Amino acid sequence: MNIANAVMLLGGVAMFLFGMSLMGDGLKKVAGNKLELILYRLSSTPLRGILLGTGVTAVIQSSSATSVMVVGFVNSGMMKLRQAIAVIMGAIIGTSVTGWIICLSSLGGDGASSAMQLLSTESLSALTAIAGILLRMIAKKKALIHIGDILMGFAVLMFGMKTMSSSVEGLRDNPVFLSMITSFSHPLLGVLAGILFTAVLQSASASVGILQALSVTGMITFDRALPMILGIAIGASVPVLLSGLGSSVNGKRAAFSYLIIEVARVILFSLLFYGLNALVHFSFMNMTMNMFRIALLNTVFRCSTVILLIPVIPLLERLMEKLVPPDPEEEAETSDMSRLEERFLAYPTLAVEQTSISIHTMAQLTQKALETSISLVADYSDKGLESVQKLEEVVDRYEDKIGSYLMKLTGREMTDTQNRAVSQYLRAITDLERISDHALDIAEGAQEIHEKQISFSDKGKKEMENLMNAVQRIVEITFDCFLTDNIEEACRVEPLEQVIDRVCRTMREKHAQRLQKGKCTIANGYVFNDLINAFERISDHCSNIAIVLMELADNALDVHQMSDLLQHEHQFHFETYFDEYAAVYLKKADRSLTE
């Protein structure tokens, strides 16, 4: 092999890998990023997991990509280890599909009929490339553009395969190549070579493709191909193991299980096959392999060993638990934030859904902090203050984690609906975090009242109790709507927020009157006003959250437009709700003002 042939071989490998990646990405986008959702939702049983793993891997053309995705599911707590093992087994089967696609490059030829000539590598590459580039240039819909990517990826893959095959055709007379191929007939050397090739290429499909390309030399026999395929299986675990670095204990277990499964399959198949060969002496050991035979051998090896390992999935799970012991400190720190996996950023549908779940948890923690702080105004305790402080810190971490995650997600290709959802989630987490800050302000105000023995007048107590009841009501409505996506009830929030604003304004007027009459001290007034301000800000943020919720349904209007819509186009409902709440809360405040 001269330098030109070596360059052609490397160039062919590069085009093959790029084509496979482009085709897989296009297939994922055409599927609408729903494959990953299906994968973790419908893998409840081993059989389902295997079938789904097979199907998803056949689509995205990479067992490593599927397995890395699964590691992310396990790491975030979305999938159990037993489910992950089943999906990984399915991925092992699914990756054999690429070998059959590669076989298309061997169709046609000089002696083939005109019909078969259309199926030759050159014709297939040309036709798919023409169709692909036309779709990319003419189509307006994203789905058609992605189909163009698939066709272009297929064309590049086929051309890369043809380039590899052409570059190695002259190796059949090369003594160095003959010596190397002959050494692969020793099973151990063949397995090691397969591991090395696949670890470097990071793709079992690419390694099998190179083996298929080498088959055109006529020097690849069955006894040389089998060890290589066994080694390729083990080498495919390298990218999955790398993805497990930095994962949780369960994530490491899932990543390590890929290696264990592959090693177990290779040992099991080797013992059965070479044991029988020692007794029977198979006649096909020296059979010359072509692309179809290599694809068939790869598929038979993968399917047969996975079927044999299905009954021992529970044992494999327990083995992983023994090999990778739990970390008590890590388990103690595990929270719902672990759903925000970096691996999911490549799958916006999944990332947005997991973000939504995390925001719901953040909302529940915020509501709990606020309820606790309000109770402290009337019944203060150091334990309650500490609880609010801890909850506020957790909510802050949620806001930081979710915000950073969503900012990373904005750089990905998403639908218009997903882009709007991300923008609105960013606003919602800000409001939730601010509510938790105000909850802490209220708790600290309660602490000051307790420590300084501050006592409000009877009228002041009634006014504050009335305001707290109104704020508790708006918080209850807002968070119930947010957690249940109840759009109709969300329309009640803005009218109540307007009522609370007027109640706060009335309370400030009455407080000023008491100061003038000497019925209230300035020291008491600072705490009183601080509490009013905190409660008013909370109602404002509740209004913002309700508007975000309605925007998620309407997917169009901004905050000011939505506020105008509520007050003008839905004037009847707004006035009805406003009058309803004014009769309860504002009436009490106005009555006190005239007393």
Of 1, 67, 3, 59, give the one whose Cα is nearest residue 28. Answer: 59
Quickly count helices (H) and strands (E) in the chain: 28, 0
CATH architecture of 339-453: Up-down Bundle (1.20)
Which pair of structure tokens corresponds to residue 462? 């009634």
* pLDDT at 334 > cutoff 50: no
Mean pLDDT of all residues in 44-65: 76
Share of the chain above pLDDT 90, in %: 7
Distance CA 436, CA 392 (A): 5
Distance CA 203, CA 191 (A): 16
* pLDDT at 556 > cutoff 90: no
pLDDT in tens, 395-444: 888 888 888 888 888 878 788 778 888 888 888 889 999 999 999 999 99
Hunting for tokens 């088959």 — which residue is that?
Answer: 215
* pLDDT at 254 > cutoff 90: no
Give the pLDDT score at 111. Answer: 47
* pLDDT at 457 > cutoff 70: yes
**DSSP code at position 346:** G
* pLDDT at 509 > cutoff 90: no
| DSSP per-residue string spanning 80-129 | -HHHHHHHHHHHHHHTTHHHHHHGGGGS--TTS-HHHHTTSHHHHHHHHH
* pLDDT at 329 > cutoff 60: no
Mean pLDDT of all residues in 367-374: 90
pLDDT in tens, 166-214: 666 655 556 665 566 556 667 888 888 888 878 877 778 778 887 887 7
| DSSP per-residue string spanning 538-560 | HHHHHHHHHHHHHHHHHSS--HH
pLDDT in tens, 113-168: 445 455 555 676 778 888 888 888 888 887 788 888 878 887 787 777 677 666 66
pLDDT in tens, 520-529: 666 666 788 8
CB atoms within 10 A of CB 328: 9
| DSSP per-residue string spanning 477-543 | HHHHHHHHT-HHHHTTHHHHHHHHHHHHHHHHHHHHHHHHHTSS-HHHHHHHHHHHHHHHHHHHHHH
CA distances from 43 to 35, 172, 329 (A): 12, 47, 29
pLDDT in tens, 351-369: 888 888 888 888 888 989 9
Mean pLDDT of the chain: 78
Give the pLDDT score at 331. Answer: 46
* pLDDT at 476 > cutoff 70: yes
Helical segments of 379-457, H only: 382-409, 416-451
Written as one letter, the residue type at 140 is K
Mean pLDDT of all residues in 499-524: 77
Give the pLDDT score at 119. Answer: 54
Which pair of structure tokens corresponds to residue 198? 């696949």
Of 350, 354, 509, 539, give the one whose Cα is nearest residue 439. Answer: 539
Tell me, yes or no, if the pTM score tops 0.85. no
What residue ranges do the domains of the chain occupy?
Answer: 3-328, 339-453, 456-595
Residue pair 69/36 in contact (Cβ under 8 Å)? The answer is yes
Of 278, 286, 184, 293, give the one whose Cα is nearest residue 232. Answer: 184
Give the pLDDT score at 421. Answer: 81
Q: In angstroms, how far is CA 467 from the centroid of its own chain?
A: 42
| 456-595 has the same fold as 339-453 | yes
| Least confident window among 74-88, 158-172, 182-196, 533-547 | 158-172
Mean pLDDT of all residues in 68-83: 74
Mean pLDDT of all residues in 320-347: 67
Task: Between 48 and 515, name the one with better pLDDT.
Answer: 48
Residue pair 144/328 in contact (Cβ under 8 Å)? The answer is no
CB atoms within 10 A of CB 206: 21
CATH class of the structural domain 456-595: mainly alpha
For 462, counting Cβ atoms within 10 Å of its Cβ (0-12 exposed, 13-18 middle, 19+ buried), the class is: middle
CB atoms within 10 A of CB 135: 20
* pLDDT at 283 > cutoff 80: yes
Start-to-end C-alpha separation, the chain: 103
CB atoms within 10 A of CB 150: 22
* pLDDT at 33 > cutoff 60: no
